Amino acid sequence: MTSSMGHDELELVDSWWRAANYLSVGQIYLRSNPLLREPLKAEHTKSRLLGHWGTTPGLNFVYAHLNRVIRRDSAEMLFVAGPGHGGPAVVANAWLEGTYSEIYGHVGNDADGMAELFRQFSYPGGIPSHAAPETPGSISEGGELGYSLAHAYGSVLDNPQLVTAVVIGDGEAETGPLAASWHSHNFLDPAADGAVLPILHLNGYKIANPTILARMPEEQLEQLLRGYGHEPYFVTVKDPDNTEQAHRDFAEALDRSLAGIRAIQESRRAPAAGTDGAADVDGAPRWPMIVLRSPKGWTGPRIVDGLPVEGTWRSHQVPLSEVRTNGEHLKQLEEWLQSYRPAELFDGDGRLRPDVAGAAPAGSLRMSATPHANGGLLRKALKLPAYRDHAVEVPEPGTDRVSPMITLGSWMRDVISLNMETFRLFGPDETASNRLQNVYEVTDKVWQYRIDDVDEHLARSGRVMEVLSEHLCQGWLEGYLLTGRHGVFSCYEAFIHIVDSMFNQHAKWLKVHRQLPWRQPVPSLNYLLSSHVWQQDHNGFSHQDPGFIDHAVNKKAEVIRVYLPADANTLLCVMAHCLASTDYVNIVVSGKQPSPTWLGPADAANHCRRGLGIWDFAGSEVPGEEPDVVMACAGDVPTVETVAAAELLKEGAPGLKVRVVNVVDLMRLQDESEHPHGLPARDFDGIFTADKPIIFAYHGYPALIHRLAYRRNNQDGLHVRGYKEEGTTTTPFDMAMLNGIDRFQLAIDAIDRVPGLAERHSSLRQSLQDRRMRAREHTRTHGEDPEEIRNWTLG
Amino acid sequence: MTSSMGHDELELVDSWWRAANYLSVGQIYLRSNPLLREPLKAEHTKSRLLGHWGTTPGLNFVYAHLNRVIRRDSAEMLFVAGPGHGGPAVVANAWLEGTYSEIYGHVGNDADGMAELFRQFSYPGGIPSHAAPETPGSISEGGELGYSLAHAYGSVLDNPQLVTAVVIGDGEAETGPLAASWHSHNFLDPAADGAVLPILHLNGYKIANPTILARMPEEQLEQLLRGYGHEPYFVTVKDPDNTEQAHRDFAEALDRSLAGIRAIQESRRAPAAGTDGAADVDGAPRWPMIVLRSPKGWTGPRIVDGLPVEGTWRSHQVPLSEVRTNGEHLKQLEEWLQSYRPAELFDGDGRLRPDVAGAAPAGSLRMSATPHANGGLLRKALKLPAYRDHAVEVPEPGTDRVSPMITLGSWMRDVISLNMETFRLFGPDETASNRLQNVYEVTDKVWQYRIDDVDEHLARSGRVMEVLSEHLCQGWLEGYLLTGRHGVFSCYEAFIHIVDSMFNQHAKWLKVHRQLPWRQPVPSLNYLLSSHVWQQDHNGFSHQDPGFIDHAVNKKAEVIRVYLPADANTLLCVMAHCLASTDYVNIVVSGKQPSPTWLGPADAANHCRRGLGIWDFAGSEVPGEEPDVVMACAGDVPTVETVAAAELLKEGAPGLKVRVVNVVDLMRLQDESEHPHGLPARDFDGIFTADKPIIFAYHGYPALIHRLAYRRNNQDGLHVRGYKEEGTTTTPFDMAMLNGIDRFQLAIDAIDRVPGLAERHSSLRQSLQDRRMRAREHTRTHGEDPEEIRNWTLG
């Protein structure tokens, strides 16, 4: 390639690169003498060397080049550092751009600040070695690999002016989520969305192994990237010393890539202007990308102790590991640092010299200062449609049957209509399966490849993102949220575990983010889980896992919210609340089949505001007296069974005082010292009593209720029924019976736990047992219709 | 392509295909009249139509063709059905082959059996609509998508004669794990392993959407598959009615593929024979694969109610949905069933006619009967090296420091030496990082692409499988285990959550598998989790998550085992136990840094046999008297802190009777009614006391200990410390302090909970508080060396 960059510009980019490299090495090694004003001594170095050099010079190289085009074009760009342990690089660039000192006053832009910058890195109480919430300009935690490309795509949706440059490590490229992410451009509308520029960084090695993409034949790699739908530009650093050639090659590739992006965008945004430069294949453009093949640990020590280091896995962490005790290592470190000519870069006070500083873009165009990486700055509250307009009337509790998800779908349709540029719905091919199909009245699913006549609701642009990858749904949504927009991830309940680990990282991100005053609140991550454990007529045991809630509540209480609305109106209320919230992870579980409506519009709103409450209509209490037993429930199917159980008890044991409690907001069960939503002890005792038996029918694994309530006075009285990993392809009522959460069992539980009741009502108990057995038998022989079964058992 | 198949052979394959299709449609629709001996009436059909037709005819087509080559070549083949809801197809073929009736006597190979085959499908108490443990010939649960290809690769490792044909749905191909799996051949040694034949089945649609791979331009798809390193053969069904052409094309592609596989194998197994046919690129051969583009719901109704169905997403589930109420639908169903000409296929008794039955291979070559899919039949117990030869001497508890993982690495080296064809170690580029590097004394990491001089322990064959994808490690290992071999998955603790959902499916598989008398026990799935939450000097908050244990214990107790060995010898004992076990998931968590040794070889073996025990050397009990407080611990870091806390109490509060209990087998804490390892109540009370305070320092999230012990008498006395999501990049001791699990806090907890102690020892309490604050401060200012800090705080 020929250069598109003048000599001065090249010098400037190289100076920036050297400065960033210098600061990166300094972070890993130095505790004092940051400018090398005196000869380097062992005591200037850290006694423990932590950190990772290998990926850093490549990240710095790319960053320096991006700055050149940002300045030239006044381009809005966001930088996503995919490789693990890229922290020193991103931090170094943020410091050079001044952003770091603006945000963290104690790390000034002078020699003292530089010393503090070095000291804090990978130090107790300091900063991590990955890009993290603490890192200015970052939206992607670098600790767990594989999500950078999905995050990048999420960031540019509905951001037509933004180009997100994402450096993909060849290590992380081996992960499944990253491998799937290459197809994301099929879900990107060139007209209304921004663009992603993937920069695949082949430095050849992971911790201890070569990487697949770096070692496959180059011809095969090119086939692969073209197969992903990209136009790859290869930049190969053959001679590590010839940095001038590397600069010229990369600048050329970057200019071509950006020109290619612009051409695609222009052709799609103003079709009359022609398709100049954009290769349009069956509707999907071939987006440019860059492959940068450069030595791992580039510009670091070439040989250490006689072994090759630069360009090998040996430069993954700390190339010179004995600088405190080995004079030769110390000497090599000093030479290495001096090779960047720090005196040319920093003045006597340790400040970046103005000519070098000129390599940075201005103000919010600096990638470390872009508001896109601090999405709360750009967040606009959603316009939410009135709940009342979508709530269903409930003439009598438990009489009408409505699909909560269909009801919600209508409301979501209006959410979409009102927020056409700031809201999206993500899901793995399940939006309609989860009964949210009403949204298609106003929008479509995004798709850039060929669209056929038989396809429905498929279009070049739309608000619904469907791909058969929970990882992509989650990754896109995270990128979308962290850049200030709103969304919902609708998923089969069992398979949300596929993103357990991504959830972990996002919840951890939010925990730290909330502690950083400069980070503004971002919209909550909303999970809407349907097709849940109790409704598996089509599927079965593999589709039965309500444990995501258990997984989630291990994260910080201030971040986690869990809702189990029992019917259509409560689902509406809960979702309206979640979509208005910030900085949480909200988990909402709801069935999709028609199921009883319990609370009218006003009652549902009140019930959700309280988070839990006594359902007088379902119980048989005597005003002013304590109940004999509390029948509690959380979740739609448990609620149906609990209300039916209370009915069975009312009929069979007249005079028994049964209280029915329904829980919407699961975190109300925790003590107020454990969770912000926790119910004060007195209120809890008022509802659940201090000593009466509680029969609790819970949607998920029973242990969770014990866990949440373990500080409660009536913990000993608590008897929980829930899913216990018994199931197959069967009817909902059979599922309830298999797991002992059915109405008969719940009523029997109550009889067994209220003192004296089993003796007084032994025939009732026997009759319930008999009816239970008959119901089971009936299901196995005639049980094709769940409604029929349910009605039969009620009768 | 031209045919390689004679006319008779073609007819035979077609007959088999029609028979399998007939049985598949029957499973979805019919409750009686299985042979259509009388005209079809509404009451012959099921009242609820469940199941999925779309993918089924394609699976049947492939199966029929594979049978042809198995018969011809006496080939050992295994069939993996990737697409979701492929159950009816796999079950139909197993019935046709006779295997189904051999295993399930109540489903005979006659008309009555056929009726039962139809009835049971997706019926309460019947069988699931996915390939499942109940399905003969299956090693891959079809409910959660994305793992078929990885399972296939796992199955052929060390099985040089086996070819596993895996049908990959174009839906599941969108998942991350599947996308990553395409690179698996880089880890397959053609000389010593078998081969995988991927058959990418493009039927074009998921539930409601087209698929990415089916809609991208064919040229791009070919680039992609070549980029994955394959030689793809395309079979495109352009005219659904011209099944003869489809048969000929597929037969040709299959013959070519198998010839290609043989050529590669021959060239690698007898290098002198030349490289005829195998394109060897940089060491990695280009393996053949097939792309079958056929209509979704092929041979089903083409048009229903005026809308196109065959070849569209509308055939995903049940193409004719109203056969009970809509005469036209019923008529179409009858025509559809008759189109397979059942009278030509089955005799008057409903048995498969002998000429058609001849299409099946014989005996264990039948894919439904292959022992490879019932790996317990082939399992050979591992030869385990003597524990004693690797155990470390412990002159005095807590004095020497040894890395448990390095000790284990030596033992694992010998495990490998003794079991060179039946054991493998899987990990995401972390074997050496987790300190198991001693295994490289006897083996290497597998790698087929270019190997450079700088690479270490990389070879064409080896026992270590390293790839930066937890999904691949898990998927390969599952395939390896279910075909009867043994392995360990070594992983960073935090990132094992990446495979939470795969673990779910495997644990569910094991639960069902254990209930099936015909399935023989398979080796346990062993997780060895290191680089754990408490040792994150290099990494930090993103690497801190001990919650996999919490996730795992939601699964059936008979399947789940959790071990937290406190030192090198206990780790050795535990691993020896795990590797000898079958049908479990064993989770073992161990640190990798040098840490105190507590128990000598004999004591460690006894301690592990009991699963937990009182450590007299660490406590200050008076024989014959109850202790004042129980200091319990589980996990290596909590054990160090607990022993130190007991020491602090001994010194500061002489006369206080402290009992130290260490727990190795976490499930001992559960009641014996809850878990097979559960300690009887009396034993539990004997160790933990019925009413004395228990200060429990636990490796993970504290709630789990409460959960496990919640039925215990002394539940109220239990005070648990553990990880509470506080952490960053810092020293292990700082991590302990951040989460309140440090020695000072534990000692203070004891003082606060033993009645009267806080008053009697207020100055001790204050001094512990002060030392704790000083330790924190010291860490933040000088805390670069964790050993130094630890020694300082001990002094």
Task: Using CA coordinates, name the residue in chain B closest to A177.
Answer: B176
Distance CA B527, CA B489 (A): 5
Q: Using CB atoms and an 8 Å cut-off, which of residues 239-298 of chain A contact chain B?
A: 281-282, 284
Asked if A445 is an interface residue toward chain B (Cβ–Cβ < 8 A), one would say yes
- Contact between A83 and A171 (Cβ < 8 Å): yes
Report the mean per-residue pLDDT for chain A.
Answer: 94
List the one residue out of B650, B642, B594 whose CA is nearest residue B614: B642
Question: Is there a contact between A725 and B554 if contact means CB atoms under 8 Å apart?
Answer: yes
Identify the pLDDT of residue A733. 86
Does the domain at residues A395-595 carry the CATH identifier 3.40.50.970?
yes
Tokens of B288: 């053949």
Question: Is there a contact between B224 and A223 if contact means CB atoms under 8 Å apart?
Answer: yes
Domain ranges for chain B: 7-361, 387-595, 611-794
Q: Which residues of chain B have pLDDT under 50?
A: 1-2, 273-282, 784, 786, 789, 792-795
- Contact between B100 and B94 (Cβ < 8 Å): yes
Could you tell me where the DSSP H helices lie in B538-600?
548-552, 568-579
Asked if B468 is an interface residue toward chain A (Cβ–Cβ < 8 A), one would say yes
Asked if A734 is an interface residue toward chain B (Cβ–Cβ < 8 A), one would say yes
Identical fold at B7-361 and B611-794?
Answer: yes
Identify the pLDDT of residue B530. 93
Question: Is there a contact between B128 and A540 if contact means CB atoms under 8 Å apart?
Answer: yes
Per-residue model confidence as pLDDT tens digits over B208-244: 899 999 999 999 999 999 999 999 999 999 999 999 9
Identify the pLDDT of residue A157. 98
Asked if A673 is an interface residue toward chain B (Cβ–Cβ < 8 A), one would say no
Question: Is there a contact between A176 and B123 if contact means CB atoms under 8 Å apart?
Answer: no
Distance CA B488, CA A658 (A): 53
Domain covering A7-373 in this structure, CATH number = 3.40.50.970
Instruction: Give kind and range of the element (H or E) at residue B308.
Output: strand B307-308
Identify the pLDDT of residue B276. 44
Distance CA A34, CA A22 (A): 10
Distance CA A721, CA A636 (A): 14
Per-residue model confidence as pLDDT tens digits over A487-528: 999 999 999 999 999 999 999 999 999 999 999 999 999 999
Task: Using CA coordinates, name the residue in chain A closest to B702.
Answer: A554
Residue from A216, A289, A433 to probe the interface with B (highest B Cβ count within 10 Å)? A216
| pLDDT: which is higher, A448 or B732 | A448
Per-residue model confidence as pLDDT tens digits over A663-691: 999 999 999 999 999 999 999 999 999 99
Distance CA A729, CA A731 (A): 7
Query: How close is the nearest chain B Cα to the Cα of A160, in Å?
Result: 24
Asked if A53 is an interface residue toward chain B (Cβ–Cβ < 8 A), one would say no
Distance CA A518, CA A511 (A): 14
| pLDDT: which is higher, A3 or A285 | A285
List the one residue out of B432, B430, B536, B531 whose CA is nearest residue B786: B536
Give the model's confidence band at A117: pLDDT under 50 very low, under 70 low, under 90 confident, else very high: very high
The CATH number of B7-361, from 3.50.50.60, 3.40.50.150, 3.40.50.970, 3.20.20.60, is 3.40.50.970
- Contact between A696 and A655 (Cβ < 8 Å): no
Question: Which among A458, A468, A505 is the nearest to B206, CB-wise?
Answer: A468
Distance CA A35, CA A114 (A): 8
Radius of gyration of chain A (CA): 30
Identify the pLDDT of residue B102. 98
Give the model's confidence band at A278: pLDDT under 50 very low, under 70 low, under 90 confident, else very high: very low
Question: Is there a contact between A127 and B500 if contact means CB atoms under 8 Å apart?
Answer: no
Question: Which among A130, A445, A783 is the nearest to B209, CB-wise?
Answer: A445
Q: Can you name the residues that pair with B195 across neighbouring β-strands?
A: B163
Chain A residues closer than 8 Å to B725 by CB: 508, 511, 554-556
Virtual CA dihedral for A312, A315, A316, A322, nearest 10 degrees? Answer: 140
Which residue type is seen at B298? W
- Contact between B214 and B183 (Cβ < 8 Å): no
Query: What are φ and ψ of residue B80, in 5° steps?
Result: -115, 120
Chain B residues closer than 8 Å to A452 by CB: 210
Distance CA A442, CA A463 (A): 9
Tokens of B449: 């692409």
Question: Is there a contact between A429 and B206 if contact means CB atoms under 8 Å apart?
Answer: yes
Task: Using CA coordinates, name the residue in chain A closest to B468.
Answer: A174
Asked if B441 is an interface residue toward chain A (Cβ–Cβ < 8 A), one would say no
Q: Once rounded to an integer, what is the mean pLDDT over residues A743-751?
A: 97
Chain B residues closer than 8 Å to A122 by CB: 537-538, 729
Question: Is there a contact between B729 and A206 if contact means CB atoms under 8 Å apart?
Answer: no
Per-residue model confidence as pLDDT tens digits over A29-73: 999 999 999 999 999 999 888 888 999 999 999 999 999 999 999
Question: Which among B51, B123, B176 is the nearest to A180, CB-wise?
Answer: B176
Question: Which among B223, B456, B706 is the nearest to A227, CB-wise?
Answer: B223
Question: Which among A467, A512, A707 is the nearest to B703, CB-wise?
Answer: A707
- Contact between B459 and B445 (Cβ < 8 Å): yes
Per-residue model confidence as pLDDT tens digits over B673-728: 999 999 999 999 999 999 999 999 999 999 999 999 988 999 889 999 999 999 88
The helix-helix angle for A327-338 and A7-29 (nearest 10°) equals 150
Q: Can you name the residues that pair with B562 across neighbouring β-strands?
A: B587
Virtual CA dihedral for B737, B739, B745, B747, nearest 10 degrees? Answer: -110
Question: Is there a contact between A500 and B504 if contact means CB atoms under 8 Å apart?
Answer: no
Q: Which fold has domain B387-595?
A: Rossmann fold (3.40.50)
Q: Using CB atoms and an 8 Å cut-off, which of residues 66-105 of chain B contact chain A?
A: none
Give the DSSP letter of residue B389: G
Identify the pLDDT of residue B272. 52
Identify the pLDDT of residue B795. 37
Question: Is there a contact between B227 and A226 if contact means CB atoms under 8 Å apart?
Answer: yes
Task: Using CA coordinates, name the residue in chain A closest to B124.
Answer: A730
CATH class, A611-794 region: alpha beta
Beta-carbon contacts of residue A1 (< 8 Å; ≥ 6 apart) = A248, A249, A252, A253
Give the model's confidence band at A794: pLDDT under 50 very low, under 70 low, under 90 confident, else very high: very low
Q: Using CB atoms and an 8 Å cut-off, which of residues 324-353 of chain B contact chain A?
A: none
Whole-number Cα distances in Å, B283 to B265, B279, B449, B682: 13, 10, 5, 63
Identify the pLDDT of residue B783. 60
Identify the pLDDT of residue B1. 43
Task: Using CA coordinates, name the residue in chain B closest to A708.
Answer: B703
List the one residue out of A558, A696, A542 whose CA is nearest residue A633: A696
Asked if B471 is an interface residue toward chain A (Cβ–Cβ < 8 A), one would say yes
Q: Using CB atoms and an 8 Å cut-off, which of residues 106-125 of chain B contact chain A?
A: 122-125
Identify the pLDDT of residue B271. 59
Asked if A505 is an interface residue toward chain B (Cβ–Cβ < 8 A), one would say yes
Chain A residues closer than 8 Å to B780 by CB: 124-125
Question: Which among B177, B211, B505 is the nearest to A542, CB-wise?
Answer: B505
Q: What is this structure's pTM? A: 0.97
Residue A273 has pLDDT above 50, yes or no: no
Question: Which among A123, A143, A497 is the nearest to B501, CB-wise?
Answer: A497
